[in-house]
Structure formats: structure tokens, C-alpha cells
Amino acid sequence: MSALLRAELLKLRTTRTFLTLVGAALLLSLLVVVLTALLQDHFTHRDLRSLFAGDFTGLFILLLGVMGMAGEWRHRTITSSVLAEPDRLKLLAAKVIAYAIAGIVLSLIVTLAIMAVGTIILSSRDLPTLDVTSLLNVIWPNIATAGFLGALGVCIGALVRNQVVAIVGVLIFSFVVEPTLLGLVSDVGKFTPITGAPSGLTGIEFGGDDNKLLHQVPAALVMVGWLALGFGAAAALLRGRDLT
């Protein structure tokens, strides 16, 4: 399994898409933090938590996961992957774990970067910042969410083989369907996989009402449930499919 994991991480590192999306996640996250820290004059504790939780890695690693798996079909590299490791379940598991690890590492880097930059700017303006405990309470939900979304992206890519359809579908679902559900039917929306449950884990619903969200433990359990469901469905489909 460790060999497969190494191979998957090597696959990730050896394309420009990965570096481009990582750079975009870092720049976008820093841009939002810098502008907010420079332009806003009053920060509540929730505002500060929202500021430092503004890590865009989750979205990008989700898309990377989708592209990483759906790309195997698009470029037909799934054949050489399965020839090298015929156990398709192990192959899928290695990819899921690799993208979860990538999500965790990237999110940690981005979150630490925005915390450092945000704290420096706010301190220079004599504005309040978060203490270490509060920062840690932002970091772990951030990286856990990014790891979850990386893994979930791989499962989605295995279920929807068309890369473009998968990416557009994920974007519509996460930017239109889920926010609409959260706004209109929060009892349903808070269980959704990309925004709803992860927002419960971070404890912040951007632009909405935090009280509508799941608490952290139920949110984490819902996320584990989504991942188990996605992995199970993806594994069943991958194992039964003829690679013609």
C-alpha cells in the first residue's frame, strides 16, 4: 500500500495542474485575508475566526481529487494503473488517501500562511488577533475538511468518469445547490457533503447563520458517512467495470 501511495503522490506532484491549483489556492486565500485585514476596521471574535478559516484549499483539493480520478478515464491512464496494480480497491484506496494527505498538508501550509500574514497586518494596525488556542481551533477543522474534500473528490471522479461533467457538477452543487439548501431548508442543507457538514466542523457558515449548522461531532460523523458512501459506490463501480 505504501508503494501505491508513493506512486499516487508522485502522480500529483508531476503535473502542472497540481502546482497551478496549489498556487491559486494560496494566492486567493492570502488575497482575501490581506484585503480584509487591511480594509475592515472592527473585528469580533467570530470575524477573526472567519478570517483565519478563509482557506480556499478545500475547494481546490476537491477539484484536484475529481480531476485526478476522472483524469484517469479521460487520459485512459486507468489501464496502465490497473495493469500495474490489478487490485482496483487498493488502487482507489491509495488515491483517496493520497488526496486526503495532499489536502491536509496544503491546508496546513495555507492556513499557517494566512494566519501569519493576517496576524502581522492586524497587529500593525493595533487590532485584536486570535490567541494560540483559538488559532489551533481553526487549524484542525480546516485541515480535516481539506483532507475530507480531497478524498471525496476522488470518489466523485470515480463515479462520474467525464471530467468536465464532474467538475461542473461539483461547482454547481457546492456554489448553488448547497447554499440554497442551507438558506431555505437548513435542516437538509446542514447535512450536505461539500459545504453543509464541513461548515459544521469549522463552526462557521460564511454569509449565513452559524446556529443552523451541525455541531462538530455530528458534522464529523456525517462527513465520515459521506466518505464511506462515496468510497463504497466508487469501489463497486470500479471493480465491476470492464476496461475496454
Partner 1 sequence: MAPVEVRDLSKRFGQVEAVKNLSFDIEAGRVTGFLGPNGAGKSTTLRALLGLIHPTAGTATFDGKRYEDLDRPSGEVGAVLEDASFHPGRSARNHLRVLAATGQHPPERVDLVLADVGLTDAADRRVKGYSMGMRQRLAIAAALLGDPEVLILDEPTNGLDPPGIAWMRGMLREQAGRGRAVLISSHLLAEVAQSVDDVIVISRGEMRAQGPLAQVLGGDGGPVTEVIAEDQAAMWSALQAAGHTAVRDGGSMIVHGLTPAEVGRIAGGAQLTLLLLTPRARSLEEAFFALTGGEAPA
Binding site for partner 1 (CB under 8 A): 3-4, 6-7, 10-11, 14-17, 71, 75-77, 79-87, 240, 242-244
Cα–Cα separations (whole angstroms), residue 57 to 17, 84, 173: 14, 31, 17
Cβ nearer to partner 1, comparing 76 with 215: 76
- CA dist., res. 172 & res. 150, Å (int): 18
Cα of first residue to Cα of last residue in the chain, in angstroms, is 26
Q: Minimum distance from CB of 10 to partner 1 (Å)? A: 5
Cβ nearer to partner 1, comparing 22 with 213: 22
Q: Minimum distance from CB of 146 to partner 1 (Å)? A: 23
Cβ nearer to partner 1, comparing 153 with 196: 153
Q: Minimum distance from CB of 202 to partner 1 (Å)? A: 33
Q: Minimum distance from CB of 237 to partner 1 (Å)? A: 13
Cβ nearer to partner 1, comparing 17 with 40: 17
